[in-house]
Structure 1
Amino acid sequence: MKSLLLAESMKIAKQSKTYYALGAIFLIELLILITAYYQGSTILDLLLDNLKQSFYFEGDLLNGNLIMYIVLNSLWFNVPLILMIVTSGVLTDEYKDGTLQTVMLQAVKKWKFMLAKYVIAVCFTLFVIIFMMISTCVLAYSLFGKGDLVVYLNTLNFFETYDAFHRICLAFASGAIAMVFYCTVSITLAVVIKEAAKTWIASALFLVITNLLLKVDFGLKVVNDYFFPKLIDTWQQLFYYETDWPHILSNNMVLIAYSIALMILGIVVFHKKDIG
Structure 2
Amino acid sequence: MNFDFALVLVAGTFITGIAWLVDKVLFEKARNARVSAAEAAAGGDLPTDAKEAVAQIPWWADFSRSMFPVLAVVLVVRSFLIEPFQIPSGSMLPTLKIGDFILVNKFHYGLRVPVLNSKFVEMNEPERGDVVVFKFPQNPSINFIKRVVGLPGDVIRYQNKTLYVNGEAQSKELLAKLPPRNPQQLLFNESLGEVQHEIYNDVQAPNRVGQWTVPEGKYFVVGDNRDNSNDSRYWGYVPDELLVGKAFAVWMHWPELLSIPDLTVAKKIQ
Using structure 2 for the length normalisation, give the TM-score. 0.25
Q: Which has the higher contact order (CA 8 A, sep 6+)?
A: 1
Based on CA coordinates, which of the two structures has the bigger radius of gyration?
2
- The structure where helix makes up a greater share of residues is 1
- The structure where strand makes up a greater share of residues is 2
Using structure 1 for the length normalisation, give the TM-score. 0.24
